[in-house]
Amino acid sequence: MKSRKLLACIVLLGSLVSCSGNNDGSRNSQLSFGQKIKLKQYKVQGELLYAQHCGNCHQPDGSGLGKLIPPLTSIASGQDNRNKTICTIKYGVEGPLVVEGTQYDGKMPANLQLTNLEIAEILTFVGNSWDNSIGIVRSSEVEESLANCQ
């Protein structure tokens, strides 16, 4: 009985990965089956966390709010940008910031209550939504980035 439930879960997860099309971008199409499942899990959990902690300001579609709050629709995949984004999610940011050629001068509050895994899930969701494709952000990467925040 347990093995049939496990098999059903594996088949369901496999169908989610294979039926989802290739909307995870070309970088993510090279992932193994297990990595694709992990990416889906992080994206689902990240979407819930994004809605709870980020969506009110950055909007459900990541478009931001006019000239007050920057959009998240074009997250760059460079490691330097990922490190800054991780630090910003955890510790917030204040002062001038230029995103897509527009200057924003506001304050994003810290999210000190978020765990490394939750930050990884949020960034995985954002980084693989709205035409972004940065792949999986692991909690170990978040831990390393947070240790080097300035």
pLDDT in tens, the chain (150 residues): 544 444 344 433 443 443 444 444 455 668 889 999 999 999 999 999 999 999 999 999 999 999 899 998 877 666 668 899 999 999 999 989 888 888 999 899 999 999 999 999 999 999 999 888 888 999 999 999 999 998
pTM, entire model: 0.78
Under DSSP, is residue 102 helix (H, G, I), strand (E, B) or coil?
strand
DSSP labels, 69-107: B---TT----HHHHHHHHHHHHH-EEEEEEETTEEEEEE
Kindly tell me the burial class for residue 105, based on how many C-beta atoms sit within 10 Å of its own C-beta (0-12, 13-18, 19 or more): exposed
